[in-house]
Structure 1
Amino acid sequence: MKVLIKAAAGAIALFFVAIFGLVVMVLNDEDAHANEISDGGGGLTGVPAEFRPWILKAAKECSVPELTPALLAAQLNQESHFQTSREAATSRAGAQGPAQFMPETWATWGRDDDGNGQASPWDIGDAVMAQGRMMCSLIKQAKGSSIGGDPRALALAGYNAGWDRVVAAKGIPPIAETQNYVEIILSTMSKFEGPGLLDVSGSGANADAVRRAATRLGTPYAWGGGGPGGPTTGFCDGTNGYQNGKCVASNTAGFDCSSLVMYAYWPSLHLPRTAAEQYGTTSDHAVSRTQLRVGDLLFWSHGGSAGIYHVAMYAGDGNVVQAPRTGRNVEVAPITSAMPDSDYYGATRP
């Protein structure tokens, strides 16, 4: 992407990447099965935790199999090494953010994907989703063209130097920076390939519930949102649902902690709506923290059963699946850091 601007500085006219339509994939509960791949179609490892859900989401929302999480991760590593500060992630050419978007290119692809009220190349969610949309479009262009070669390589060249240069060269342009860019990303993809985020063992309703929850990894948190049918917009209640002083829940389709659990167990088990109610319904099957099984419910409280404020599902290996809080997404996290450990109240087995 940086070459595009450098070359344009001495050119008579700027070329611009053509805009192609984007098919937005709508999450549909009827299409979410317990055995769906939960990591966007491929394993992912070696990326900062704050980038992981967005990389998986960006890959999952693209309909071409060539756009894998590992490809996006390798590209981000080459663009910025996952840096997010303005000092570290601003290029000499003026590219901005972890995905290194020039302002005019950002105007085409940037959206407020993280729901914080602004579309910014500095926001990890906004940047990675825009990267995914642009790469998805470029791969489709490469596959639909008469240009031979690996569509991933052609797309990367288009991202770095502009699609017009790829067309003119009928392949990767003879630009050293672009050729190096493509070679490094494709050769380092394996560094970011790994096993799926969740390998849930066992059978039965509890294990299936965790697998079902895992199909929603990367879905935004929405206070009061979500239910048995999937993600829905939430609401603000005067205290919850706000980010940076703005009500974001009413504009965000997602889950809160208890609706994710409700969704995961439905329809085999109809759990009530709130975390406190879910504890009350299942508290007669209390489980020691040392005896947890996949699918057990874990609760955190500010004081007693009346103060329960969070619920998560045990996913095995000391991890939980949870919808943590406003501004975050459905994720896998260690029990010890999912919520303040001092607030841990107990676990139950539905």
Structure 2
Amino acid sequence: MNVIVPKSVEICTKLADFDYDLPKDLIAQQPLENRDDARLLILYRNTGKIEHRKFYEITDYLSDGDLLVLNNTKVIPARIRGNKTSGASIELLFIEELEENQWKVLIKSRAKLREKEEIRIDSKIISVNLLGRSEDGAWYVEFNKDVDIKRIMNKIGEMPLPPYIKRKKDSNALYSLDQERYQTVFAKKAGAIAAPTAGLHFSQNILKNIKTLGTEIEFITLHVGLGTFLPIKTEDIRNHQMHKEYYECSEEVVKKIKKTKEKNNRVIATGSTACRVLETVAVNGKAPQLSGWTSLFIHPPYHFQYVDILLTNFHLPKTTLLLLVSAFAGRENIMNAYEIAKSKGYRFFSYGDCMMII
């Protein structure tokens, strides 16, 4: 156990204040054999105290009457590789369906793109009309009406792993493993292009144990998109604009949150996505918007209204995710905890270990 004495509270607005160095060998490249074998760092945000546990011991920190909120979004196999008719390779990452046969897509190609492209995908020549660029660098594209993109995704699409997870072209076993493990066991509503990674640690057995304990479990949906993982490009963090992401939260969940807090029990948000949904709903007070698009950017200082405990992975430096956890626990607590996690060999990022901030 490590005890950290928090320093005086300081409001940091510079992006450089949320930077840290990380050895490459601490970036998890594949999941553990068992989901709930991940390490669990417990951080008490009021004192800075830290404990080191395993994820399967999470029930030691939950109580009868608490409410655990999970994000049931489902990652779609949104990355499709193909070739231009010239032979040049091309990679498409489907971000958002705009309307029938129209998508917002990130395109990676060394060859210059033309307004009307023909691409060979799944042994077929597909005509793609480039409609224009968005501010975030994506393309708006339109496919012929006889092209069923979702069918192609389900047939040959790959899980959209983040770029720090490396896969060789012949890594068929790992590609197959990613199809299962870059997905939570409770994934239900398809639409995300990245996993809500804090939820990856839950096994069906852990969920059963949590319910037996008397902790209630409820689900919200946030389809993880560009908003979650696009980098911050402004030196003053307050000038960053979050991209919108679609969410859903039922009236029943809101009622249970209020009931939980009235009884002085705790609401546990699993991941930044669940946290942002709950705080988005809370912002609207007595007339909450239960579904729609959220661009809520949580950074220090921020007053959390619904979330009492945050379950989260270890995040990349200078990201909106690191800012969110810093808002919840305090920047210096987080930076100290990250340094300790590094010294003890914790695994970082999507397939890495977990942190519970109490």
TM-score if structure 2 supplies the norm length?
A: 0.28
Greater CA radius of gyration, 1 or 2? 1
Greater helix share, structure number: 1
Greater strand share, structure number: 2
TM-score if structure 1 supplies the norm length?
A: 0.29
**Which structure carries more relative contact order (alpha carbon 8 Å, separation 6+)?**
2
